[in-house]
Chain A
Amino acid sequence: MHLALTDQILKEVEKPARYIGGEINAIHKELCDAMIRFAMCFPDIYEIGMSHLGAQIIYAMLNEREDVWCERVYSPWTDLHKIMKEQKIPLFALESQDPVKDFDFLGITLQYEMCYTNVLQILDLSGISMFSADRNNDDPVVIGGGPCAYNPEPIADFFDLFYIGEAETGYDALLDLYKTHKMSGKFDRNEFLHEAGKLPGIYAPKFYQTHYGADHTLTSFKPIYEDLPHTIKKAVCMDLNDAPYITKPIVPYLKVTQDRATLEIQRGCIRGCRFCQAGMIYRPVRERDEKKLETLAREMLENSGHEEISLSSLSSSDYSALPELVNYLIEYAGEQRVNISLPSLRIDAFSLDVMRRVQDIRKSSLTFAPEAGSQRMRNVINKGLTQEDILKGAGDAFLGGWTRVKLYFMLGLPTETDEDLLAIPLLCNEIAKLYYELIPKEQRKGRVQIVASSSFFVPKPFTPFQWAAMDKREDFLRKAAFVNHAMHEQLNARSIKYNWHDASVSELEGILARGDRRLSAVLLYAYEHGALFDAWTETFHKEPWDEAFLKTGIDPAYYIHRERSTDEILPWDFIDIGVTREYLMREWEKAQNGVTTPNCRDHCNGCGAAVFGGGICYAH
């Protein structure tokens, strides 16, 4: 088969298998004039991109259409990036190895803000104009989607379209429209984009105008054409049982991050943690039928030969048929010698029993995500997990033979005090203490191992904390040092390990998450001065970013360090996720008063997601 890269280049770069395609179940089609060519890009390296479920679903779904050939594109790693720039080799798609520039669409999934410079790399290496405004009829239509499309504004200038919401419902209409325009023989890019902008869930950013006031905040945001919508309502797939899913997963040669079949059991989350964007944007909760999942599991495993299957969803313990599904999988896995990789489950008698059946207790650990140390703080963030829950779960697990506990926390949450921070080491110590109380000396095999990790809280759009000020870098580092010091003061300090990260990336993530269109200049400058693979510790460099803010005169503090007033127009307000702004404001108010909100299954809180007409909102 023809490869885009020469033998000499492939022998020079690290892991050449990233660039050759040809995997089992990759889809190849005969090209013809009527074929719509869609390049589906995950802007990170192959091993990360190939592990992403959503992109695989879109790949399967688009290739179901006879008139579409969807291929894959990933970011060339820095070694190949350099060679491609030097030798002017255009970026190519894996299946056909043809240049991305020859495609009709370039779809880019936006899973985290720190991939934005990689998006620019994709455009740059493809030879596509960076800015939508500069593109002509021969360029692919560049469309973005995924969670970061819920605030597309920082990257709006680089995209022709955004798909807001779940891909399963709206791509057919978009592709049909494109086909009509393409086959008419007089394709006009702007005309197509204008028409596309009227479709449900589609946002065509170049046709919207922003105005800013003296205080830099938005004063208006509106379409330049009368016939374009003022708000874009997210697309939601209400029947997951009928929705396209992967039955023939591509089997990578390289060991990718998630080297297994993945079953998405449900979408959405009933919990309503106030920091969590996914918990709001994927409402309402919709489950896949358990029998359907059994069939999908068998098909995926048989067609791929994978030795492992994992379950995917937010808060998997809340899936109503979890015991049936897990029991089925354990039985099937036993016959077929398939491993089951469990999602993090609420620790209780059921999950401990399941863990015992599928994992080696000596090797596995328990995971808790209290997110905050004190009950007051957990009430603020609406994390319905109490110290009693954690100690009960840990105690049962210790008696069952487990000796390792992982705990996840966030620092810098709204209203946080030193007392709340101190509660983190105290909780860790309590867990360690419990182990030594419950397990007699002669039965212990060494110390209990408690690993606590903290991340820095980054406020995200469409959460009750979207108005909150983010901590400064110095505050973050002081807090981490404070927690670290207090960890060492604990009686059981030798059983506890504490990890935290640098705050620079969190700050940038914060800026980009709640950013607006003015940031495109910063992004372009940073990319052109060497920023790439910012999500990777080894390749993240702060310098090009610092310089970019200085040169463009944009003040990062405006985006992260100020609390926004609830009457401010936010850059993402034009998107309608079903959950209303009023609901988020109510939650923000309740958070500040430390008042909790019950989960959707126990009580409907009227968030607005019922507007979609299904899911848990109508299950009562």
Chain B
Amino acid sequence: MRIRMKFSKRGSLKYIGHLDTMRYFQKLMRRAGIPIAYSNGMSPHQIMSFALPLGIGDESVGEYADIELTGSVSSTDALAALAACSAPGIEILSFKALPDDAKNAMSSVEAADYEIGFTNDPDLSAFSTFFAQNEIVVLKKTKKSENMIDIKPFIFQYRVAEDRIFLRLKCGSVNNTKPELVMDAFYQYLGIDFDENLLKIKRLDLLTVNGQDFISLNDIGLEI
């Protein structure tokens, strides 16, 4: 049986990187006695996959990991067992069985919602004129190349509150758009120096596409 877990990562645990978070979960499964399935072969590993890496220093209240079970356990029991041996800061928010035809979290994630706070008070009212540009061209660096790309199509939604910005951005295996990239472009537009360490990024949720709509990855499974 395949299970989707939603979890948060807050407080000082935002400094735990993606690989370390994965290792944390592997040990957590063992401590909590979750009957997780293992791969075959000489060095078996737990069958577990994460939806999308979260940057070091970013908080989240909407992270996802899928696992496979060999035995059965109810959502309530599993959540209690996990809570009993979790670190404060990583809270398992849901534990749901996935339908047989559901794609895994990693391949179904299409968008991410972010809340971005600032420590240096930029003029956020300019964001709407920034977004009203025909295109928002940025230099995107990857390990192999540097490309000028227009990221405007990948900003699905935005909302400016008093001191923060909410963004819904394209993510996943193609055109993955990080909030830092959008903010870098915005700061350039404002003509001020950009330091990504001054942003306070919180991921609110990860979403997939259902017909015309975005739905939360948490809406796929059912409690058991």
> Which A residues contact B (CB, under 8 angstroms)?
1, 3, 7-8, 10-12, 16-17, 20-24, 251, 253-255, 259, 301-307, 336-337, 339, 360
CA distance A1 to B89 in the complex (A): 9
CA distance A12 to B19 in the complex (A): 19
Does B31 lie within 8 Å of A304, measured CB to CB? Answer: yes
Does A337 lie within 8 Å of B12, measured CB to CB? Answer: no
Assuming the contacts A16-B57, A22-B87, asked whether A251 and B12 have C-beta atoms less than 8 A apart, the reply is no
CA distance A12 to B56 in the complex (A): 11
Assuming the contacts A11-B197, A337-B38, asked whether A307 and B30 have C-beta atoms less than 8 A apart, the reply is yes
Assuming the contacts A7-B57, A8-B198, A307-B27, asked whether A24 and B87 have C-beta atoms less than 8 A apart, the reply is yes
Does A360 lie within 8 Å of B43, measured CB to CB? Answer: yes
The 4 A-B residue pairs with the shortest CB-CB distance, nearest first, are: A305-B27, A305-B30, A305-B31, A11-B197
**Interface check B17, CB cutoff 8 A:** yes
Assuming the contacts A1-B88, A307-B26, asked whether A10 and B57 have C-beta atoms less than 8 A apart, the reply is yes
Question: Which residues of chain A have C-beta atoms less than 8 A from B24's C-beta?
Answer: 251, 253
Question: Which residues of chain A have C-beta atoms less than 8 A from B23's C-beta?
Answer: 253, 255, 259
CA distance A253 to B27 in the complex (A): 10
Which chain A residue shows the least CB distance to B55? A11
Question: Which residues of chain B have C-beta atoms less than 8 A from A255's C-beta?
Answer: 19-20, 23
Does A360 lie within 8 Å of B15, measured CB to CB? Answer: no
**Interface check B16, CB cutoff 8 A:** yes
Question: Which residues of chain A have C-beta atoms less than 8 A from B20's C-beta?
Answer: 17, 253-255
Does B87 lie within 8 Å of A337, measured CB to CB? Answer: no
| Shortest Cβ gap from B188 to chain A (Å) | 20
Question: Which residues of chain A have C-beta atoms less than 8 A from B88's C-beta?
Answer: 1, 22
Which chain B residue shows the least CB distance to A252? B20
Which chain B residue shows the least CB distance to A19? B15
CA distance A251 to B21 in the complex (A): 12
**Interface check B28, CB cutoff 8 A:** yes
CA distance A346 to B23 in the complex (A): 33
A-B contact pairs, 7 of them (CB 8 A): A7-B200, A16-B15, A255-B19, A255-B20, A255-B23, A303-B31, A307-B27
**Interface check B11, CB cutoff 8 A:** yes
| Shortest Cβ gap from A82 to chain B (Å) | 16
| Shortest Cβ gap from A19 to chain B (Å) | 8
| Shortest Cβ gap from A339 to chain B (Å) | 8
Does A17 lie within 8 Å of B15, measured CB to CB? Answer: yes
Does A17 lie within 8 Å of B42, measured CB to CB? Answer: no
Additional 19 contacts, C-beta under 8 A, given A3-B12, A16-B57, A304-B27: A1-B88, A1-B89, A7-B197, A10-B15, A10-B57, A11-B57, A16-B56, A17-B15, A20-B12, A20-B15, A22-B13, A23-B87, A24-B31, A251-B27, A253-B24, A254-B20, A305-B26, A305-B27, A307-B26
Question: Which residues of chain B have C-beta atoms less than 8 A from A253's C-beta?
Answer: 13, 16, 20-21, 23-24
Question: Which residues of chain B have C-beta atoms less than 8 A from A305's C-beta?
Answer: 26-31, 85
Counting chain A CB atoms within 10 Å of each CB, the highest count among B15, B20, B31, B57 belongs to: B15
**Interface check B44, CB cutoff 8 A:** yes
Question: Which residues of chain A have C-beta atoms less than 8 A from B12's C-beta?
Answer: 1, 3, 20-22
| Shortest Cβ gap from B183 to chain A (Å) | 14
Question: Which residues of chain B have C-beta atoms less than 8 A from A302's C-beta?
Answer: 31
Question: Which residues of chain A have C-beta atoms less than 8 A from B42's C-beta?
Answer: 360
Assuming the contacts A11-B57, A23-B87, A304-B31, asked whether A17 and B197 have C-beta atoms less than 8 A apart, the reply is no
Question: Which residues of chain B have C-beta atoms less than 8 A from A304's C-beta?
Answer: 27, 31
CA distance A222 to B131 in the complex (A): 80
Question: Which residues of chain A have C-beta atoms less than 8 A from B28's C-beta?
Answer: 305
Question: Which residues of chain B have C-beta atoms less than 8 A from A1's C-beta?
Answer: 11-12, 88-89
| Shortest Cβ gap from A261 to chain B (Å) | 11
CA distance A336 to B11 in the complex (A): 32
CA distance A22 to B44 in the complex (A): 29
Counting chain B CB atoms within 10 Å of each CB, the highest count among A16, A20, A305, A337 belongs to: A305
| Shortest Cβ gap from A262 to chain B (Å) | 16
CA distance A337 to B13 in the complex (A): 28
Does A17 lie within 8 Å of B11, measured CB to CB? Answer: no
Does B15 lie within 8 Å of A8, measured CB to CB? Answer: no
| Shortest Cβ gap from B71 to chain A (Å) | 14
CA distance A538 to B57 in the complex (A): 27
Counting chain B CB atoms within 10 Å of each CB, the highest count among A22, A303, A304 belongs to: A22
Which chain B residue shows the least CB distance to A339? B43
CA distance A339 to B38 in the complex (A): 13
CA distance A144 to B159 in the complex (A): 57
CA distance A307 to B24 in the complex (A): 11
CA distance A409 to B16 in the complex (A): 40
| Shortest Cβ gap from B63 to chain A (Å) | 15
CA distance A620 to B42 in the complex (A): 43
Does B15 lie within 8 Å of A337, measured CB to CB? Answer: no
| Shortest Cβ gap from A51 to chain B (Å) | 15
Question: Which residues of chain B have C-beta atoms less than 8 A from A301's C-beta?
Answer: 30
Question: Which residues of chain A have C-beta atoms less than 8 A from B16's C-beta?
Answer: 17, 253
Can you list, as one digit per residue, whether each of B171-186 has a CB less than 8 Å from chain A (1) or not (0)? 0000000000000000
CA distance A307 to B88 in the complex (A): 22
Which chain A residue shows the least CB distance to B17? A17
Question: Which residues of chain B have C-beta atoms less than 8 A from A7's C-beta?
Answer: 57, 119, 197, 200
Does A12 lie within 8 Å of B44, measured CB to CB? Answer: no
Question: Which residues of chain A have C-beta atoms less than 8 A from B198's C-beta?
Answer: 8
Question: Which residues of chain A have C-beta atoms less than 8 A from B27's C-beta?
Answer: 24, 251, 304-307
Which chain B residue shows the least CB distance to A301? B30
Can you list, as one digit per residue, whether each of B186-198 has a CB less than 8 Å from chain A (1) or not (0)? 0000000000011
Question: Which residues of chain B have C-beta atoms less than 8 A from A3's C-beta?
Answer: 12
| Shortest Cβ gap from A310 to chain B (Å) | 16
Which chain B residue shows the least CB distance to A26? B87
Which B20-49 residues have a C-beta within 8 angstroms of A? 20-21, 23-24, 26-31, 38, 42-44
CA distance A303 to B12 in the complex (A): 23
Which chain A residue shows the least CB distance to B198? A8
Counting chain B CB atoms within 10 Å of each CB, the highest count among A10, A21, A253 belongs to: A253
Does A24 lie within 8 Å of B26, measured CB to CB? Answer: no
Does B85 lie within 8 Å of A24, measured CB to CB? Answer: yes
CA distance A23 to B85 in the complex (A): 11
CA distance A339 to B45 in the complex (A): 11
Which chain A residue shows the least CB distance to B11? A1
CA distance A3 to B197 in the complex (A): 17
Which chain B residue shows the least CB distance to A8? B197
| Shortest Cβ gap from B9 to chain A (Å) | 11
| Shortest Cβ gap from A251 to chain B (Å) | 6
Counting chain A CB atoms within 10 Å of each CB, the highest count among B21, B28, B38, B57 belongs to: B57
CA distance A303 to B27 in the complex (A): 10
CA distance A8 to B30 in the complex (A): 34
Does A22 lie within 8 Å of B89, measured CB to CB? Answer: yes
CA distance A7 to B14 in the complex (A): 10
CA distance A8 to B85 in the complex (A): 30
CA distance A8 to B119 in the complex (A): 10
CA distance A10 to B15 in the complex (A): 8
CA distance A10 to B42 in the complex (A): 39
Does A12 lie within 8 Å of B31, measured CB to CB? Answer: no
| Shortest Cβ gap from B215 to chain A (Å) | 32
Does B197 lie within 8 Å of A12, measured CB to CB? Answer: yes
Which chain B residue shows the least CB distance to A2? B12
Which B80-126 residues have a C-beta within 8 angstroms of A? 85, 87-89, 119
